[in-house]
Structure 1
Amino acid sequence: MNRFWLVLRRTVGRWFGVVVVGLVVLAAVGGWATYTGHVDPGTHTERETVAAWSPTDTVRHSARVTKLNPVFPRNVTLENRSAYLTRASPRFRAQFAPGYTATDDGNVTTTVVLSVVRRAVVTGEGPGADEQTLWQTERRLRTERGRLAPGEQLSAETELNATRLDGETDALVASLGGSPGEVYTEVRAEIRLVGTVADRPVETTWTRRLRVEVADGVYRLTPVGATPGGREWTRTVVVPNDPGLPRQVGGPVALLVGLAGLAVAVVGRRAGAFRLDPVESEWLAYRSDASEFGEWVIDAEVPRTLTDGTVAEANSLSDLVDLAIDADEAVLRGDTGDYFVRYGEVVYVYSPPEPEVVRARGGFDLGDGLPSVGLSGTNDEQADGRASRADGGGAGATPSFEETTTDGDLEEELRDSDSDEELRDSDPDEELRDGHPDDGDTTVDPSERSNGDPTDADAEDEPDTTWEGEPGDEGDEERS
């Protein structure tokens, strides 16, 4: 288990109530989504189209070249051009083709009345003003009528001379002595549709125009007007709701996650899985300090002589960094993973939690996200200190230290003890009986030393030596 799961356990333990409420809400939402997505999705009303129809029309025009010219050959038909030459093709053909579309069968009678209309139009003042017709003349040309099914069209055509129409218009205006406004010459088609569609009666009328404008040796044909809209017949129907894939899949997933999370939370709370022991808490504090104060730490090969003087042990890495800041020193990390700071005559040490101890108690990987350091080569004093801190020491406490005996003093005491034991093992009387001192190693059976006084050997033992005093006060030594 890595640091993420350890932090997750601590977070769930601190915010257990909030986590439970969130899981309950998630399970409730998932249950509602599952019910509405699979059991009862519900219904809604829609408007369904029963039948529909829509009028259509098409306006086309063309002109056939009848005069010799250097541009177009004779008898060529030009269609739907923006302009035609009055000298090369003075006559044009206008075609109006109304019809309709429907969703069902229909029977509609279509009538088209073609006329030539001349009118004078004055537009009122201001934006959006309507046109006002001053005068109008009409000459009917022809009428077309027929029965149409959906999709069919009735074609009504006529052929006229553009230059002749323009001349007649000029003569009419001259006979009136002039005319205000705009004078238009148009081919008009009055269209009427009457019949039934899907056994429902329909009727509509509209007007389309093809405006003729002659100027500078050309004439232009411009369609004017629009086709009216159609009609739909609808009914109200009730249709089931479509819950959609997110609700059908996400609902069961949310319900399962919510219920499973609640079960895990309750069982884990009762089993104490969300409570961190002191070792785990210290490890998290150490991980946080190592990440926060990494810039103060320098990996170095720490000499053994660094701890020959007075040594004090810090309770956390943050305390050691505070001391380093006060002393304006860097924090050294040795091969054993311990951290050192020299402050005056005292060397402060912080030993991180033992990975083996934490693995055994917490069951997670301590190496996740941390610099790797060697775990071998630790001395006995550092191992004893880390073990004692793992059993009860807490991170974040006030830095504490205790004075310890240096390695040089310990070796001297061991040599003194060995010398005393050799003196106790030797027998002076036996050496005198042999007539010469013992030049080599002699093993004496303890049973042969029955005449010896055991109190004499005990008296010759040199008592143990301990050092007491305040840190840094090396002159005040007292032998007990």
Structure 2
Amino acid sequence: MNDRTNETDTRGRRLRATLADNYALALTALLLVAALGGAVTYATHLDGETRTETRQVASWQSSGEFTHQATVVNDTEAFAAGTVLRNRSVYYQRLTPRLNGSFVYTYAASDGGNLTVETTVTLVMRSVEETGEGNETVYWRVERPLNEVRTSSLEPGERAVAPFSVNATAAAAEAARIDGEMGGTPGQTEVAVVARVERSGTRNGRPVEASDASRLAIASGDGVYRVSESGAMTDSGGQTEEIEVPAEYGPLRTAGGPLLLLLGGVGALGLVSARRSGRLTVTDAERRWLAYRSTRREFDDWITTGRVPSEAEGPPVVAVDSLSGLVDVAIDTDERVIEDRRRGACLVLGEGQWYRYDRPAAPTGVRSENGDGSTESADERLIAPETSASGEPDTDGGPATDEN
């Protein structure tokens, strides 16, 4: 049996001593682990726990936009009369004075719909001044109706179209005339086509009442007029509902609960069984041995393994009660502690005095290593001074040597 086996046996005895001294605490901890594992297992696998989940059950989108075009009325080298210019950002006041267009509204709904759409198209002329922070001052405003279209039973994907036609060149001149009649206001003169769309009916099975507007600005100057759409009509939404679905857990909780229950339960049963059968019993001799081994490990740097001459040839020997006390002596005398495993003792060899500590007997089953590498149990160890073959004390032991 080597030192590694002895160390394993010592650790086992130390574990038994720890469990014996802390039996109630260890049993309580194992039962708590089992209870925790049981609770997690029940909640995960048996309780049928659910969680609330929000799901979209229907969705919709709607959009409205202007389309426009202008027809060339005079022949030029660039454009022939009758040429149609479509969806441009710039048109010509003399060549294409009239702007024709339409406002188109459509929508989509995942669960169907039926809408009545009323589209009103108006020419708006006004003088307006921005006053900061999104506010404005309107000095005057004039509206001219261009068209009004009612579309009934509009299904998803169908279009509600409201055409219009406006002489952009004449509208710019009229706006300037009106502002002149007002004496020339400090505001900016604006001309725009405004489409207002009112919707009612059902969409995805729910009632709808909504109204939106979109604006097509017409800015004239330098022989052209520029067209730009602002306030584009786009919107979307949906309906959701809350449903209860089975809770889902990761592998850590799914397997961890049963594992904790198993480990805690088996551990508690094993601990109770070990105590009742006496396997946790630690004798006084074992406790003394464990205490010695702990101290031996703590002061290992001060201890050298060797062979000590017969004490009969040395100075007087003082018995020391503990290994830690012997190490204190070694420190005070500036000597080392010599562990003579054959004698089963540790000694400090002072000049005029030797000091000796007899280590406790090893428990049954633990074998101690002798100085020559052989092993023997506590019952076989030579405690008395070594003798020669003639029966006389061995005076040939020589000085202590470090065998580490």
Instruction: Give the TM-score taking structure 2 as reference length.
Output: 0.65
Q: Post-superposition shift, 1:169? A: 4.4
Of residues 297, 300, 303, the one that matches 2:302 is 297
Identity %: 27
Answer with 1 or 2: which has the greater Rg: 1
Name whichever structure is richer in helix by fraction.
Answer: 1
Letter in 2 for 1:116: L
Q: 119, 139, 142: which one pairs with 1:112?
A: 119
Contact 1:214 1:220 in 2 (8 A): no
How far did 1:334 drift?
A: 7.5
Post-superposition CA distance 1:256-276 (Å, at most 9, x none): 223212211211222333343
Indicate yes or no: 2:140 matched with 1:135. yes
Residue 205 (structure 1) aligned to one of 200, 207, 211: 211
In structure 2, distance between residues paired with 1:360 and 1:96: 101
Structure 2 residue aligned with 1:149: 155
Is 1:194–2:189 an aligned residue pair?
Answer: no
CA distance in structure 2 between the aligned counterparts of 1:359 and 1:95, rounded to whole angstroms: 106
Task: Classify 1:173/1:4 alpha carbon distance in 2 versus 1 (closer, same or farther; 3 Å).
Answer: farther
Equivalent pair of 1:118/1:137 in contact (CA under 8 Å) = yes
Larger RCO, structures 1/2 (Cα 8 Å, 6+ apart): 2
Deviations 1:243-264 (A, max 9, x none): 6355543333232223212211
Give 1:377's aligned residue: 372
Contact 1:351-1:386 within 8 A present in 2 as well = no
Whole-Å separation in 2 of the counterparts to 1:116 and 1:169: 11
Aligned 8 A contact 1:306 1:347 in 2: no
Q: How does 1:344-423 map to 2 (within 5 A)?
A: 344-348=351-355, 357-358=362-363, 360=365, 375-377=370-372, 414=391
Which residue type is aligned with residue 22 of structure 2?
Answer: W
| Residue deviations 1:86-118 (CA, integer Å, cap 9, x gap) | 89x989887754333333122223333333323
Out of 323, 326, 347, the residue aligned to residue 320 of structure 1 is 326
Q: Take 1:289 and 1:142, find their aligned partners in 2: how far apart are those partners?
A: 105
Describe how 1:448-459 pairs up with structure 2 within 5 A. Answer: none
Gap regions ≥5 residues in structure 1: 367-372, 390-403, 417-480
What amino acid maps onto 1:377 in structure 2? D
Aligned residues of 1:212 and 1:222 also touching (Cα < 8 A)? no
Matched residue SS, 1:179:
coil
How far, CA to CA, are the matches of 1:13 and 1:314 in structure 2?
30
CA contact (8 A) 2:340 2:371 kept: no
SS of the aligned residue for 2:199 comes to strand
**2-side partners of 1:158 and 1:340: how far apart?**
118
TM-score calculated relative to the size of structure 1 = 0.57
- The structure-2 alpha-carbon separation of the partners of 1:384 and 1:13, relative to structure 1 and needing over 3 Å to count, comes to closer
Cα 1:378–1:98 shift into 2, 3 Å: same
Corresponding residue of 1:395? none
More divergent stretch after superposition (344-353 vs 101-110) = 344-353
Residues 369-394 of structure 1: per-residue CA shift (max 9 Å, x gap): xxxx96452799x98799699xxxxx
CA gap 1:45/1:243 in 2 versus in 1, 3 angstroms: closer
Asked if 1:41 corresponds to 2:48, the answer is yes
Letter in 2 for 1:201: P
Tell me how far 1:325 sits from its aligned partner: 2.8
For 2:278, the equivalent position in structure 1 comes to 272
The 2-side partners of 1:75 and 1:306 are apart by 128
Displacement after TM superposition at 1:190 (Å): 0.9
Work out the CA distance in 1 between the residues paired with 2:293 and 2:67: 87
Q: Secondary structure at the match of 1:209?
A: strand
Shift of 1:360: 1.4
Q: What is the Cα deviation at residue 187 of structure 1?
A: 3.1
Measure how far apart 1:26 and its partner are: 3.0
